[in-house]
Structure 1
């Protein structure tokens, strides 16, 4: 078996993306019989940065699929005593079947570790992209609406790694509309915008980005936000909170989108990026979204370990059957 890596959403073909999303939705809906596709597999979980959902999702998901876990904290490896990253990756690849890692923020280290086909490498968040978060988001949208094609999503907040991954993912589905409202100076990176534009041109999706909250049109299926202070980062502008304040998600956004659900990648800071009555209100599916991170992680782990010829066992039709 040749290991498959997930460092960026660009590593997935359209079929891969649809397969993982549908499989995650089927796991979430309880449609897949108890199986142990990771039986005898050893999954390394290595986090240098804090994590609640991603670390728990992959750890619990691997064990539910029959895998064994080896967990590493930020101070556990000989990297701290001067061993090279290359040597560490070489050792990992001779002992582990899958490595789920959140490292320095630069994906280059993960790419280096993925330069072999014995051990699959999964990016559990880098500075530029959070691919497994986007896969959990797609799983949640599929469960909620029974489809992703044609959905309209409003994202409000920083153009961070969550926003980048969301844009890269939704632009791969025909007819989707993603409107990003990001503070001036805190939008998507130019290279991300280029990749998103290329995908949207191919699929017919529409992705726009504005740096103000004026002229909202409504009609959205989902409103999404993310923590203003992205994990492991800081902002050089001491007055950045004043720039962000108009981008708080308030109940007023539902005036023109009354049926929209609310999504948040968590952790949340009530009173900053979102009002408490929104996060804790009846339209919020943020904690279902968090739970789906485990089911999506299970799909990712299974994809990493499956032969490509087996991937047609779960199709978009199966994913639609997993809708609420």
Structure 2
């Protein structure tokens, strides 16, 4: 019985194993497996979701589990029950709880304070760990490795950027550059953690708040929508600040072989042009499908011993 609240909960070996296992599910190397037969998965989303909710629901069903879905108004949290009590009760009836709160991850840690039910963070305010695993799985599936890749992230230093920084910084030789609008960068705690990972693994993490002197010969260019789920911008004029950080086809002049990633949903004409999102470099919809494969790897890891067969180690 394991939990996934942050990517920092994982050892290096566990992170690599989840990435390669997700890629194995995506490529069909695993064959049909049903390690969650007889288990019950709770799917609780207090905030909107298309990909992550569908990924974990379909992934749990494919692994043999049955699911119970909860919406934002369904739990007694709304009437004042404590998170600790909610977690204790649900752990008597569920085997795993997948939750999106877009709030303080301490709530999920409270739910995890028992020894019966696994808890998976499907997005909190500070980090989107299952998105980070999806992104690493997508890069691994495309390039056959994560080590040594050169990745540019353009946009807000939000929970998706945090997970990407915490994940990529743990693979040797990776060069990860973020270009974030002034005042909208990575939080200081996330930056410190990612920089510590990078120093330990021989990776490079850089962040700037302009679009000048971009790196060349990139392997991947990534962006996310400007209006993150469950958040609002403190600056009423934020669109003017974000406008220079739109991903356009011009970024491919110096990196013609780069693939484009986006965690979706996308707003064409805001963070990315339609020419890029719908163009030949885009693997954003393959990335979206990989959310299910990555979810299956997470659920299997949470509820079973380390999986045998393809994808368990690089």
- 2:312 equivalent to 1:315: yes
SS for the counterpart of 1:39 is coil
1:202 to 175, 195, 200: 200
Deviations 1:117-157 (A, max 9, x none): 21000000001000000000011001100000000000000
Residue number in structure 2 paired with 1:322: none
What TM-score, normalized by structure 2, do the two folds share? 0.98
Displacement of 1:315 after TM fit? 3.4
The yes-or-no answer on 1:101 pairing with 2:99 is: yes
Partner of 1:163: 161
Q: Is the 8 A contact 1:4 1:117 kept in 2?
A: no
Q: Deviations over 1:263-303 (max 9, x none)?
A: 00001000000011000001000000000000000000000
Question: What is the Cα deviation at residue 55 of structure 1?
Answer: 0.3
Q: What residue in structure 1 maps to residue 133 of structure 2?
A: 135
Alignment correspondent of 1:34: 32
Does the CA-based 8 Å contact 1:182-1:210 persist in structure 2?
Answer: yes
Listed one character per residue, the Cα deviations across residues 189-248 of structure 1 (whole Å, up to 9, x for unaligned) are 001110001100110000100100001131100000001010010012111000000000
TM-superposed CA distance for 1:82, in Å, is: 2.4
Q: 1:263 aligns with which of 261, 265, 286?
A: 261
> What SS does structure 2 have at the residue aligned with 1:129?
coil
2:276 is paired with a residue whose SS is helix
Greater mean deviation of Cα atoms: 132-141 or 77-86: 77-86
- Asked if 2 retains the 8 angstrom alpha-carbon contact of 1:19 and 1:311, the reply is no
Checking the alignment, whether the CA contact within 8 Å between 2:24 and 2:310 is kept in structure 1 is no
* Matched position secondary structure for 1:283: coil
**C-alpha root-mean-square deviation of aligned residues, in Å?**
1.1
Unaligned runs of 5+ in 1: 318-324
Question: Is the CA contact (8 Å cut-off) linking 1:132 and 1:297 kept in structure 2?
Answer: yes
Alignment match, 1:320: none
The aligned counterpart of 1:154 is: 152
CA contact (8 A) 1:222 1:260 kept: yes
- C-alpha offsets along residues 58-101 of structure 1, whole Å, 9 cap, x if unaligned? 00000000000000001111222222222111111110000000
The count of aligned residue pairs is: 314
Q: Give distance in 1, aligned partners of 2:184 and 2:313.
A: 35
**Contact 1:25–1:139 (CA<8 Å) still a contact in 2?**
yes
Unpaired stretches in structure 2, ≥5 consecutive residues: none
SS of residue matched to 1:187: coil
Q: How does 1:45-194 map to 2 (within 5 A)?
A: 45-194=43-192
Contact 2:22 2:311 in 1 (8 A): no
Worse-matched range after superposition: 78-87 or 65-74: 78-87
> Are the counterparts in 1 of residues 156 and 181 from structure 2 also a CA contact under 8 Å?
yes
Q: Which residue of 1 aligns with 2:11?
A: 13
Q: Shift in Å at residue 312 of structure 1?
A: 8.2
Equivalences for 1:239-278 in 2 at 5 Å? 239-278=237-276
Which residue of structure 1 lines up, in the alignment, with residue 291 of structure 2? 293
- Describe the SS at the equivalent of 2:24: helix
